[in-house]
Amino acid sequence: MIQQVIANLAVDRIEPSVSFFEKIGFNMDVQVPEDDHIGFAIFINGANQIMLQTRQSLREDSEAFLPAAEATGPSLLFIKVDDVEAIASKLEGYEVVMQMRDTFYGAKEISFLEPGGHVMTFAEFSGDAGTE
């Protein structure tokens, strides 16, 4: 039985992403040093977690992680929120990669590029749309 799915995102450096995740309600709960910077971090918001790991740390962990460490494209996370306008306001100044829009599946959503290079789409669902 699956208990939880947690994304581990490869980044060059973690420090530039800390403020982004704090602005949307995550707190850095775990940080592992790597030379003069953070090599691995876990950000927590309630039962939700996002892990960031430097490419250097991934290379050192396992040869199996090399493709992730060398990948140049972003990961895309879809994050359901209560108030997408509030999230957009908190992230003012970060690059918007998809403008606010209403979707055919009942969401109002917007996408930002977080400093580590990953796309975060925030979606607010009205009524029963987007529920299990």
From the list 23, 20, 7, the residue with the least C-alpha distance to 75 is 7
Half-sphere exposure of 90 (CA within 13 A, CB side): 17
First-residue to last-residue Cα distance in the chain = 18
Residue 40 CB neighbour total at 10 angstroms: 18
Q: 47: which 2 tokens?
A: 């039962």
In angstroms, rounded to a whole number, what is the distance separating the alpha carbons of residues 100 and 33? 37
Which pLDDT value is given to residue 129? Answer: 61
pTM: 0.91
Cβ(67)–Cβ(117) below 8 Å: no
Which pLDDT value is given to residue 71? Answer: 87
Which pLDDT value is given to residue 82? Answer: 96
pLDDT, one tens digit for every residue, the chain (132 residues): 998 999 999 999 999 999 999 999 999 999 999 999 999 999 999 999 999 999 999 999 999 999 989 988 899 999 999 999 999 999 999 999 999 999 999 999 999 999 999 999 999 998 766 655
